[in-house]
Amino acid sequence: MSTYTFPNRSEAGRALARELSHYADRSDVVVLALPRGGVPIGFEIAHALRAPLDIFLVRKLGVPQYEELAMGAIASGGTQVLNESVLEQLHITAEDIEQVARRERQELERRERAFRDGREPVPVAGRICILVDDGLATGSTMRAAVMALTKQSPQRVVVAVPVAAADTCNEFESLADEVICLYTPEPFMAVGRWYDDFAQLTDDEVRDYLERAAHEMAH
């Protein structure tokens, strides 16, 4: 591939929406964006498909004293997934897990409140859930999101990103029902490398996107 870059996340979202057009105008589709970077992309997809938009928050459960190493994750809807091999290898107790999970749950709930602004989560059980982010490097957050979402009995899990490392994109073939990665440039380096404008979103901007999407669905 050439060194193509997306002007911004909104443009990337519109490009991705074209690849998802077979899900337009269906009452069983919901777009779930990983905040914050996935939200402008999810907004464009939800707009094009005329589907509801919601956020899907994931918090890593780091091993005590080795926070970078994930022993699991918690996600929107209160779902918890654990990495059994890490727990066994490091002899992590249920007490250790609960202590970390409690702290991360509080942060997850704080973010849910900040982003949702009192709006109820969109139901996912029995629905086609399109999980969206601005890109996949290692894919660890998206992997946790897919595992957590799968526990909530969706009809189908679709992972959709504008850009991804080729190996990571391939990995999701066995985890999700459908995977769409528009570009898999090599060498990949970092997600931000493939956007001209990769500014971080504020909480207010995330709220604004969700409000606008909810307003569109209501009219």
pLDDT tens over the chain, length 219 residues? 446 899 999 999 999 999 999 999 999 999 999 999 999 999 999 999 999 999 999 998 999 988 888 899 999 888 899 999 999 999 999 999 999 999 999 999 999 999 988 888 999 999 999 999 999 998 988 999 999 999 999 999 999 999 999 999 999 999 999 999 999 999 999 999 999 999 999 999 999 999 999 999 888
Q: Which residues contact 162 (CB under 8 A, 6 or more apart)?
A: 6, 12, 13, 15, 16, 41, 134, 135, 181, 182, 183, 194
The tally of domains found in the chain comes to 2
Q: Measure the CA–CA gap between 183 and 199, rounded to whole angstroms.
A: 20
pTM of the model: 0.92
Q: Where residue 85 sits, what CATH number does that domain have?
A: 3.30.1310.20
Burial of 80 per CB tally in 10 Å (0-12, 13-18, 19+): middle
Element (H, E) at 183: strand 178-183
Find, among 28, 59, 22, the residue nearest to 122 by Cα.
28
4 inside domain: no
Same domain assignment for residues 213 and 157: yes
Whether residues 145 and 209 share a domain: the answer is yes
Q: Tell me, yes or no, whether 134 and 171 share the same domain.
A: yes
Within-domain flag for 96: yes
Residue 100: domain span = 59-116
* Residues 166, 201 within the same domain: yes
Q: Are residues 133 and 210 in the same domain?
A: yes
> Both 132 and 107 in a single domain?
no
